[in-house]
Structure 1
Amino acid sequence: MAEKFDAVDVIRTKRDKQRLSKDQIDWVIDAYTRGVVGDEQMAALNMAIFLNGMDREEIVQWTQAMIDSGETMSFAGLSRVTSDKHSTGGVGDKITLPLAPLVASFGVAVPQLSGRGLGHTGGTLDKLESIPGWQAEISNERMMEILEDPGCVICAAGAGLAPADKKIYALRDITSTVDCIPLIASSIMSKKIAEGTANLVLDVKVGSGAFMKDIDMARELARTMVDLGTDAGTNTVALLTDMSVPLGRTVGNALEIRESVEVLAGGGPLDVVELTLALAHEMLEMAGVHDADVDAALKDGRAMDTWKKMIRAQGGDPDAALPTAKHTHVVTAERDGYLTEMDALAVGVASWRLGAGRARKQDPVQAGAGIEIHAGLGEKVAKGQKLFTLHTDDEDRFERALESLNPGIAIGDEAPTLRSSVVLDRIS
C-alpha cells in the first residue's frame, strides 16, 4: 500500500517554520510506530519542532495521534471517582508515596501509573521496589480490584498506552530534544489522557533540579498541559512548585520510602508535608470531596492504614526492614555560618552517581544508595557539624559523587532569604 505522505516533506514543512496539518501529524506518528518512518527522520522532525515550535492546534493533534497509537483505559466501571497526580520530576520528589494513600483514604480512587528514573530524577517505581516483595507490574484486572479497595495503586503503565510516546521519548533522550514544551506537554498528557482519569493535578517543578529552570517556561508548560487536558475532557489544574533545593531530607530509593512513611505517621519534613497536603486538597476538591481535613488523616493513621493495604495488595511487606547500603561517608561543615546554598541538581547528580539512579534505561539501581540531608537551607551550622551522609554499595563511587555535591553547597555569614511556600503558583 502506498503511503499517504513522505517523511522528508513533513520534516521540510516544520523545518521551514510552517504548521503541520492534522493529516500530516496523524500519518507521521502512525508511520513511525509502524517502523515506516526511521529513527533518523523522527529525530530530524523532533529537532525542527524544538527549534520552530508548534501552535496549540498542532500540539493538540500531536497529543491525540500519540493517544491513538495505542489502547486507552476507562475507570467508568469503578464505584469511586478517580483523581490522579503527575509530577514533572525533581530531586527527593517522593510526594506520590504519601499522597496516593492520603487521597484514597477519603474514598477517591487514585490510579498512579508511574515510571522509572532516568538521570538525576528518581523514579517512583524504583523507590517502591526497595520494599521486599513489592511488584510494579500488575494486570489491568488486578489494578481495578485494588482501586476499589484500598483505593490507590502505584504501578507500571502498560506497554499498550501511547506506544508512540515511548519510542519518541527514547529518541529525544539521545538527541538533546527533551526540554521542548510542545514535546514535553504532549508526552505527559498523551499518557495521562490515555489512562482515562477524570481529574488530574499537575505538579510542575521549577528550579535547578527540574526540567524547567525558569518560572516563565514552567508557566507556559503548565498552561499548555492544562489546555490539553481540558480540550480532551479531563478536569486539569497545575501547581508550580519549587525545585531549587531538594524536597525533604532524603534522596534515593529506600531512603525516600523511609521518609514517606514518616510523613504517613504524622511527622516528616515540613516541605514534603506542605506539598502533600496542597496536592491532596486539589485532588479531593476536583473529585467533589470538599473541606476534607487531610492533615487529620495523616495524623490519625487513616492514610498509613491505606498505605499498608496498598503495599500488601501488590505483594509487598510494609513492615519489613528496608535495604541499607554497605558503605557511608559523612560530609561535615568546613566553617561556622549559615547554609546559604544547596543546589538541587548538584544533590541529585551526586545521588545518581552513588547508584540511586541510572544513565541508561536498562541499568540496575541500588536500593540503599542516596543522600541523607542533616541541615536545611538557611540553618546555622558549626564547623565539623554533619551536613550529609552519602550511602552506596561501591566505595569507589564516593569521589565522583562529592565532585558533584561540593560545588552546590555554600556556607556564608548571613542567613539567606527563604521562600515562604513550596507552591509558587496555580494554573487552571
Structure 2
Amino acid sequence: MNILEIIEKKKNKEALSQKEIEFFVDGYTKNKIPDYQMSALLMTIVINGMNDVETAYLTEAMMNSGKKINLSSIKGIKVDKHSTGGVGDKVSLVLGPIVAACGAVFAKMSGRGLGYTGGTIDKLESIEGFNCFLNEQQFKFLLKKSNIAIIGQTDNLVPADKKIYALRDVSGTVNSLPLITSSIMSKKLSTGSDAILLDVKCGSGAFMKNINEAKQLARWMINIGKKLKKDVRAEITNMEQPLGRMIGNKNEIIEVIESLKGNGDKKFMELIYSSATTLLIQAKIVKNEKEACKLIEEVIKSGKAFNKFLELIENQGGNIELIQKTNWWKPKYKLEINATKSGYLYLKNSVILGLVAVKLGAGRNKKEDIIDNEAGIELKKVTNEKVQKNEILMVLYSSKPIDKNLSNEVKKTFEINQKPKNNKIILAKME
C-alpha cells in the first residue's frame, strides 16, 4: 500500500477502505508521509468528499492515533458538550455545574480561544490558581468526587488531528464536512464520555452561515456517534449575536456566577435550560423535559449549582474567595458606546464584536499572544431591548488605553429599529 495509490483512488471518486485510511493517518502522524502528499490527499477529499462509512473510519483512525481516556471505572453515564465556537460562549461553565448538581457526570475537555472565538480554558485560567492541565488520574478522581472536571487538551490526545488540522489551516482544506466531522468527533470520542451534546452555531458569527449547513454538519456528527455506539445529539443555535451580556474572560466568569445564582440573561438561560435538559435525559437522570426543568430550577434556586461551580474551581486550585469579591474584575480603561436614537436594539454581527474584544486584549490572533483578563465588552442592552437616545448600549474595557476608533467598528454590529425583530436562540434540535 502506498500514498500515491490512495490519492489516485480518491481522485477517481472511489471510496477508501478502512486499512487505507488507517495507513495514511498513521503514516502522516509518524512523519512517514510528507506534507505535500498529505495536502494533495486532503484536497481530493475536499473536492470529491467521503461517504459516511469512510468518515467513520477516518474518525476512528484519528481517535486511535494517541492515548484515549477510559472512564469506565466511574459510575453512571458520562456526558460532554461541544460547541463549534462562538462569541461570549460561556455555556459549559454554567451548564456543567448545573448538570453535575443534578447528579450527572460532566467530563469535559476544552480548548483555548483563537481569533474571535473565546476559549473555555482561557476563561477558567483568568481565575487565580486554576489548573486546567490535570493528568488522567486526577481527572477521574475529581469526576468521582464531584461529578465535574474541566481540563485542557493534552498533547498525546488525538495527535493525528492536531497535525492534520495544522496542515488543513495552511492548505485551503478546512471547509470539508468529512474533515470537520472527523476532527471534532475524534477529540470528543477519545475523552471517554458516553453521551455528547453538540452545540452547532449558525449565523454571521459562526462557521456555518445558514441552518441547512448547520443541520448537515450536525447530522454527519450524530451518524458518526451512532456508528461508534455513542449517544450524540445536537442543538442548532443562533450566533448572530453574542451569548449573554459579557465578552471576555474575567467578566464572563462574573456572568457565569450571576447565571448560576439565577440572575442570568433571559435568552442565555433559555439555551442553558435546553442544553441541560438534553444532557440530563441522555444521562438518564430524568425521563422528560418537564422533570428536567423542575430539577434544573431546584438546583439553581437552592444554590447547589453555584456551590458546584465553587467546588469545581477549588478542586482545580482556583481562588474561590477572590472571584466572589465585587472588585475582582478591575479594568483600568473603558469606552462607552451610546445610542444615536431611540428604538429597539438589534445586534447583527457578533464576529466584529469578537474581533474588537481581541483588539482590546481579551483574545489572541496567534497561540503565543498573551491575554489581558481585564479586557472585554459588556453589553448593557441586547437584542430587542428598548433603548433611549444617548443611552449606553455597551462598554469596552482594557488594561491599556483604548483606541477611540474602535467605536466606529462597534457601530457596525447593531442597528436600532422601530419594532423588535425575530430572535430565536435555539433553531433546531436533532438526535
TM bracket (short chain):
over 0.9
Matches within 5 A, 1:40-59: 40-59=36-55
Q: Does the 8 Å CA contact 1:80/1:148 hold for their aligned counterparts? A: no
Over aligned residue pairs, what C-alpha RMSD do you find? 1.6
| Structure 2 residue 339 is the aligned partner of structure 1 residue 336 | no
Q: Partner residue of 1:172?
A: 168
2:321 partner SS:
coil
Q: Partner residue of 1:423?
A: 426
1: distance between equivalents of 2:163 and 2:404? 34
Q: Which amino acid aligns with 2:322?
A: A
Q: Which amino acid aligns with 2:209?
A: K
Q: Partner residue of 1:382?
A: 388
Q: Partner residue of 2:272?
A: 276
| Structure 2 residue 358 is the aligned partner of structure 1 residue 356 | no
1: distance between equivalents of 2:36 and 2:398? 38
Change in Cα spacing, 1:304 to 1:325, as seen in structure 2 (3 Å) is same
Matches within 5 A, 1:302-321: 302-321=304-323
Query: Which moves more between the two structures, 18-27 or 251-260?
Result: 18-27
Change in Cα spacing, 1:255 to 1:43, as seen in structure 2 (3 Å) is farther
**2:158 aligned residue (162, 187, 200):** 162
Cα shift at 1:19: 2.6
Change in Cα spacing, 1:340 to 1:110, as seen in structure 2 (3 Å) is closer
Q: Which amino acid aligns with 1:345?
A: V
Q: Deviations over 1:257-287 (max 9, x none)?
A: 1101101111110122111111111111111
Q: Which amino acid aligns with 1:326?
A: K
Query: Which moves more between the two structures, 122-131 or 277-286?
Result: 277-286
Matches within 5 A, 1:135-146: 135-146=131-142
TM-score (norm 1): 0.94
Q: Which amino acid aligns with 2:401?
A: E
2: distance between equivalents of 1:402 and 1:179? 32
Change in Cα spacing, 1:84 to 1:78, as seen in structure 2 (3 Å) is same
| Structure 2 residue 69 is the aligned partner of structure 1 residue 73 | yes
1: distance between equivalents of 2:403 and 2:132? 28
Q: Does the 8 Å CA contact 2:76/2:283 hold for their aligned counterparts? A: no
Cα shift at 1:306: 0.8
In the alignment, structure 1 segments of 5+ residues that lack a partner are none
1:237 partner SS:
strand
Change in Cα spacing, 1:295 to 1:177, as seen in structure 2 (3 Å) is farther
Cα shift at 1:337: 2.5
1: distance between equivalents of 2:190 and 2:296? 29
1: distance between equivalents of 2:51 and 2:61? 15
Q: Partner residue of 1:406?
A: 411
1:113 partner SS:
strand
Change in Cα spacing, 1:363 to 1:397, as seen in structure 2 (3 Å) is farther
2: distance between equivalents of 1:384 and 1:67? 54
2: distance between equivalents of 1:208 and 1:247? 13
Q: Does the 8 Å CA contact 1:199/1:235 hold for their aligned counterparts? A: yes
Matches within 5 A, 1:202-281: 202-281=198-277
TM-score (norm 2): 0.94
1: distance between equivalents of 2:36 and 2:399? 39
Q: Does the 8 Å CA contact 1:368/1:391 hold for their aligned counterparts? A: yes
Q: Does the 8 Å CA contact 2:197/2:232 hold for their aligned counterparts? A: yes
Matches within 5 A, 1:54-203: 54-203=50-199
1: distance between equivalents of 2:322 and 2:252? 15
Aligned residues: 421
1:174 partner SS:
helix
Cα shift at 1:171: 2.2
2: distance between equivalents of 1:415 and 1:156? 44
Change in Cα spacing, 1:385 to 1:87, as seen in structure 2 (3 Å) is same
Cα shift at 1:192: 1.1
Cα shift at 1:323: 4.1
Cα shift at 1:180: 2.2
2: distance between equivalents of 1:47 and 1:324? 48
2: distance between equivalents of 1:323 and 1:167? 37
Cα shift at 1:20: 2.5
Q: Which amino acid aligns with 1:121?
A: T
1: distance between equivalents of 2:330 and 2:27? 47
Q: Does the 8 Å CA contact 2:334/2:402 hold for their aligned counterparts? A: no
1: distance between equivalents of 2:79 and 2:160? 25
Q: Which amino acid aligns with 1:425?
A: A
2:322 partner SS:
coil
Change in Cα spacing, 1:378 to 1:107, as seen in structure 2 (3 Å) is closer
Query: Which moves more between the two structures, 173-182 or 75-84?
Result: 173-182
Q: Which amino acid aligns with 1:267?
A: N
Q: Deviations over 1:295-345 (max 9, x none)?
A: 221121011111101100000012314343321111111222322343111
Q: Which amino acid aligns with 1:296?
A: E
Q: Which amino acid aligns with 2:416?
A: I
